[in-house]
Structure 1
Amino acid sequence: MQKISFSKKLITCVIAGLVVGAFILRQCVTWLRTLIPIGTLTIIPLLTLVVAVIYAFIWQARKTNRPETLAFWQGLIRYGVAFDLASFGWEKICHLQLVMPISKVDLPYSSFSPSDLFWNFYSHSYLFACIIAGLQITGAMLLLFRRTRLVGVFVLIPLLANILLMDIFYEIGQSVVVHASIMLLGTLYFLFIEFNRLKEFFFIAKDQLPALTLSKYLKLGIRLSVIYIPLLLIALHNKPDRNPQLTGKYEVKQLQINQQMRYKSDCADSVLTVVYLDVRNGCVFEFNTPQKRWNGTYTLANNHMEINWRSPSDRPVFKGSISPAGGSGKLKLAGTLGTDSVNIIMQRL
């Protein structure tokens, strides 16, 4: 009987305790939080972890190396990860996850928090959600069978890694990050215990593909070309933000048309209120509401600016100059818009 080291016993039990505690906690929070206080439910993962650690020491003290015991704790890890991911998958299919409240969909994009952006993006396509759900359920089932366990690991690791990174960078929540980390850890466990098999497959077994008879330096140069050629092309390409000193959102503080002052209260749907000078020389004039905009591009030579409009395409071309207006972040647009003379004082927001 092969001896099982204490470190392997302890690591297996700890991961099992974390995984089982995490998946039970999530199920309880999802389905029982109206019956049991959240504070009470948070004791569950602590209890499972403590029990698992205590058992690891008992297991070592008994000096037994029964493979059935190891298989039991590994089975707990597999079942916990599989159950958790399968439940996530079915929740997506049944419209219980990746759903954005209608009340938020109509809010301005700039008002969204990172987590709102995440949910809004992924709630757009139900088919995409079903594909992710299918991968979660399939990977979970593959993980539960001995012959397909490693295939399930290869399906789930990139999926869980992607979920974890999105949870972190879209600020979904600390508890969600911890949960995803535990499930990824449980899946990685089965990758590491197959280290020798994987090393044999990837690094020792002979490659069956035919090889080109080229010098090793030429081969190396070709391989490295996927790094340096794209970088060279990017370096030769114009940067999208060609005028970073101008790029920004500006509030119109003062508007004169044909030497007459115009105010927001004059006519709610036709007074210029916001100007955007964007990347790739984009320019947008907004008239009180995002639904009423002129979209175009500008050209700049010294301080001379010309704006041509794409939509609506029948709007008159602006020709004039742009210059600082005295205050920090203030600019002055002066010129002609078709047959009208225009003077705009605007403040960067």
Structure 2
Amino acid sequence: MSLLQFTAKGIYCPVGKFYIDPWQPVDFAVITHAHGDHARWGSRYYLAHEFSQPILKVRLGPDTVIETLPYGVTKNINGVKLSLHPAGHIIGSAQVRLEYKGFVSVVSGDYKTENDGISTPFEPLRCNEFVTESTFGLPIYNWLGQVQIFDNIKQWILRNQSNGRTSIFIAYSLGKAQRLMKGLEGVANIFVHSSIERLNEAIRSASITLPHAKQWTSDTPRTALQNSIVILPPSLLGTNMIKKIPHGAIAICSGWMQVRGNRRWQSVDAGFAVSDHADWRGLLDTIRYTGAEKVYVTHGYTATFSKYLNEIGIAAQEVITQYGSDEEAEADNSKEAISPEV
């Protein structure tokens, strides 16, 4: 038995007659989170977590019809019991749990197993079938703990301040930027790009408290930026705008920075392996906990990871989807305007 079909439009629940994170317009779309590769414009009706609603309105348009659910509340859709549970990926991210006649399916979307201090912490779920990402589905990707990661970042900022340099972080406008703001609160004055501030306003409208940050523009006085923190989207990397920040030291925050070669290739001053995705251990621990009889592996190292799961006795199948990754775009130095995380 399965509650899911993988179709040309996306992941479909035929009993419930709805799609989960479809990549083509449909009548009823259940959304795991507000990143652009999972929440696409054009569907008639959306269902998402209540924290995601104001972000989705910014990204999909103010007239978009969006129903919301809090975590753990069940909605019956054509006999399917649907509930949303924390995915820990970004603010408002959710795993979609489906139950029908005692059979349970979980579509996890993107997820992160360590508490980042700003997203609702990940909740592992038991199920019969589980859909997992595999963005970092290789043994080399094992993250440092949250405290150690930010201690390393703070030390880098202090060294920059001692040399009169401004610390510039390249981070996606939704998710990574807010995580950096939270982790670096009180270290120095924080400036953010307008694309980040626009989403900060949407997040605050959902009664979520974010650290104070000022909006940065190319006209922000040089004296105000000295020894400060500036968070910018990847689209500005290598542009004349970023060069207007005096004495800037640039760091990319991405899981791909686990590999030193990526740091050198980007020609920046530092790289920190800050990822909003589960690492190798997080993926395996989660899948083992689910107890799922079948695991479907989407976007990332799908072939390698599904092969490994089968080798250790977990029935797994690679599934081709149109989901991308903020991490992939950072590694490729893609423009934010065409990346999945717009």
TM-score by length of 2: 0.18
Structure showing greater relative contact order (alpha-carbon pairs closer than 8 Å, 6 or more residues apart): 2
- Indicate the structure with greater helix content: 1
- Indicate the structure with greater strand content: 2
Q: Which has the larger radius of gyration?
A: 1
TM-score by length of 1: 0.17
